[in-house]
Amino acid sequence: MTADLEVGPEDAGVRLDVFVASALGLSRTRVQRLLEEGRIRLDGRPPRKSEVLARGQRLVVEVPSPASLAAKPEPIPLTIVFQDADLVVVDKPAGLVVHPSVGHAHGTLVNALLYHVRDLSGIGGALRPGIVHRLDRDTSGLMVVAKNDAAHQGLSKALVRRRVRRLYRAATWGHLAVATLLVDAPIARDPVHRKHMAVVAEGRRAVTRARVRERWRAAELLDVALETGRTHQIRVHMAHVGHPVVGDAVYGAGWERGMGGPDRGWARELARRVPRQFLHAAELVFEHPRTGARMRFRSPLPPDLAAAAAWAREGRP
């Protein structure tokens, strides 16, 4: 498969390897291999991976068909919300890793997809067939997966151009000072804890919008919309502004224990009732990559989070 990409105004100043990885749903490591194999041309010439792109430049990327998939089909239960010849929309449960990796060779969403869907795109590579975007293991909710290369390229481009709307429900500690919040803060690997992400001045731009949906006793239920799709973006941004996601063991661990006064007991009880990070991909809106039809999908809070929210609404200590 050969992809022809044009650098838009929103991507000017982005590194070539970052741009190609985002546009085609590839890992940075795979983009590096394509560069080494001479499969990427920038305005007709071989580029450097660190080259910074300018508006209007064109890239031609040759993505060879992958070898036989390393991931194997597994009969893992999977909720398929929608499916046609081009794509499939799934409602991922919490606890399910999206694709195989070190420490998670089996039991992933990819293994489930290979069992339930027979015609996935191979463009994502041997371990990520059809995967266009990810959700964290402990985040539940809606994902779209491509079933052919044209759909994969179209959906990936739409993500890069911010034409895919992803709305999340998140419970966060404390109360925002405003009803709506815009967080525009760059994200990169934490320089100290390399397995974590953090707001870092040299990171990639990340934009998150949040709106208070319900105000609870010592926490809030938010509607959160992503304008960019950085790793752990919502969790990092909400922790950065002092309101970490309830149940987030990485960026908000033990936050409720520091709460004083009469709300301490309530906060500890809510934390006990939330079995994992309170983050759910509740709405997904995009244009169908082949027909252009507007596609909109919604997913209610799953039972574990719905039960915690119902308790929180009562406001009991």
Q: Contact at 8 Å (CB) between 94 and 104?
A: no
Mean pLDDT value across residues 293-299 = 98
Catalytic positions, please?
Answer: 136
Helix or strand (DSSP H, E) at 152: helix 149-160
Query: According to the model, what pLDDT value does residue 126 have?
Result: 53
> Higher model confidence: residue 153 or residue 178?
178
In angstroms, the CA 315 to CA 317 distance is 7
Q: Where are the beta strands (DSSP E) in 67-194?
A: 79-83, 87-92, 140-146, 165-173, 180-184, 187-189
User: Which residue do the tokens 């990171």 mark?
Assistant: 203
Hey, what long-range contacts does 283-287 have (CB within 8 A, 24 or more apart)?
A: 283/142, 283/165, 283/166, 283/167, 284/89, 284/142, 284/143, 284/144, 284/164, 284/165, 284/166, 284/167, 285/164, 285/165, 285/167, 286/144, 286/155, 286/158, 286/163, 286/164, 286/165, 287/158, 287/163
pLDDT digit string, tens, across residues 217-255: 999 999 999 998 899 999 999 999 999 999 999 999 888
Query: According to the model, what pLDDT value does residue 38 have?
Result: 87
Query: Which of 111-120, 223-232, 260-269, 277-286 reaches the highest mean pLDDT?
Result: 277-286
Query: According to the model, what pLDDT value does residue 136 have?
Result: 92
Helix or strand (DSSP H, E) at 235: helix 233-240
pLDDT interval class at 180 (50, 70, 90): very high
Q: Of 55-59, 254-258, 289-293, 298-302, which gets the smallest average pLDDT?
A: 254-258
Average pLDDT, the chain: 89
pLDDT interval class at 65 (50, 70, 90): low
pLDDT interval class at 84 (50, 70, 90): very high
Share in percent of the chain as helix, strand, coil (round to 5): 25, 30, 50
In angstroms, the CA 144 to CA 262 distance is 43
Q: Of 22-36, 155-169, 295-309, which gets the smallest average pLDDT?
A: 22-36
Query: According to the model, what pLDDT value does residue 258 have?
Result: 78
Query: According to the model, what pLDDT value does residue 68 have?
Result: 46
**Cβ atoms < 10 Å from Cβ of 66:** 17
- 11 has a pLDDT exceeding 60: yes
pTM score over 0.85: no
- 207 has a pLDDT exceeding 50: yes
Closest CA to 225 of 137, 284, 286, 161: 284
pLDDT digit string, tens, across residues 120-170: 766 655 556 788 888 999 999 999 999 888 898 899 889 888 899 999 999
> Higher model confidence: residue 17 or residue 210?
210
Query: According to the model, what pLDDT value does residue 29 have?
Result: 76
Q: Of 23-32, 45-54, 139-148, which gets the smallest average pLDDT?
A: 23-32
Q: Contact at 8 Å (CB) between 60 and 4?
A: yes
